[in-house]
Amino acid sequence: MTSGSCACRYITYTTSKPPTYLVNCHCTTCRKQAGAPYQTWASFSADDIRWTTKPTEWRATDTATRSFCPRCGSIITMVLDRDPMSIDVAAGTLAEGETQIPPPSRHIFLQEKASWYHLPEDGAKRWDEWAPGLS
């Protein structure tokens, strides 16, 4: 089992399986929402995730629905319109020590990377936009 929560623990979730992959997204929306150089997303099957309380949804673009905790503001999820069966969960919300979480395998949207951030050599593949095979 994998579980997680926002910073104030108002929003919690569980899944029966670990994430299929982690990806670091450097796009402007992820960067601004995270208040950080990038957002790490953990990808799950949408029908495998169970919520105690649903996070508040919003749309930054016409391609995806994002969500956050209405109490503490933690970033919670992103679901792409073109792939509603997958849900990206903010990896920082994952509980530690329950399941083996794979390290991020890709950096995406590096064409929008913060100029002040120096990306270290971490072995993850790099893409200017979407990575092939990621929906």
Q: Which residues bind Zn ion (CB under 5 A)?
A: 6, 8, 10, 25, 27, 30, 69, 71-72
Strand 125-126 relative to strand 106-108, pairing: parallel
User: Which DSSP symbol is given to 90?
Assistant: E
Shorter beta-carbon distance to Zn ion: residue 15 or 74: 74
Shortest gap between Cβ of 45 and Zn ion (angstroms)?
20
Q: CB-based burial of residue 36 (10 Å sphere; 0-12 exposed, 13-18 middle, 19+ buried)? A: middle
Of 80 and 101, nearer to Zn ion (C-beta) is 80
Q: Is 67 exposed, middle or buried (0-12, 13-18, 19+ CB in 10 A)?
A: buried
Residue 27 or 90: which CB sits closer to Zn ion?
27
Shortest Cβ 41–Zn ion spacing (Å): 8
DSSP state of 85: T
Structure tokens at 127: 């893409």
Least distance in Å: CB of 118 to Zn ion? 19
Q: Quick one: 122 or 129, whose CB is closer to Zn ion?
A: 129
- Residue 1: CB minimum distance to Zn ion, A: 21
